[in-house]
């Protein structure tokens, strides 16, 4: 399975069991999107933005063609993510 397809599969798995924010659920993961310096975007599921950046750096460390725009990380809602997928706008 390609890395992109595997990443998308991992992203979709996050929707199987929605989590409600409670005082007992402090480790809830959120979707963070980011840009590539070369163009395009991707996403990471993490508990906070620092973890999302770290996961992305580790996941794409061996890529010779893609470099992450560290300043572009942004937490998004499912509505925003779906809008991005439909290509209706990023911000």
Whether 26 shows a pLDDT value over 50: the answer reads yes
Cα three-residue angle 5-11-15, rounded to 5 degrees? 135
- The runs of H, that is alpha helices, within 1-91 are 3-13, 49-59, 78-85
State residue 88's pLDDT score: 60
Whether 72 shows a pLDDT value over 60: the answer reads yes
Q: What mean pLDDT is predicted for residues 64-81? A: 94
State residue 27's pLDDT score: 79
Whole-structure pTM value: 0.67
State residue 24's pLDDT score: 44
């Amino acid at each position: 399975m390609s890395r992109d397809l595997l990443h998308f599969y991992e992203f979709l798995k996050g929707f199987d069991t929605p989590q409600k924010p409670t005082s007992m659920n402090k480790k809830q993961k959120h979707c963070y999107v980011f840009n590539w310096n070369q163009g395009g975007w991707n996403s990471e599921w993490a508990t906070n933005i620092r973890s999302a950046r770290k996961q992305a750096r580790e996941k794409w460390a061996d890529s010779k063609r893609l470099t992450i725009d560290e300043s572009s990380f942004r937490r998004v809602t499912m509505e925003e993510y779906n809008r991005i997928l439909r290509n209706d706008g990023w911000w």
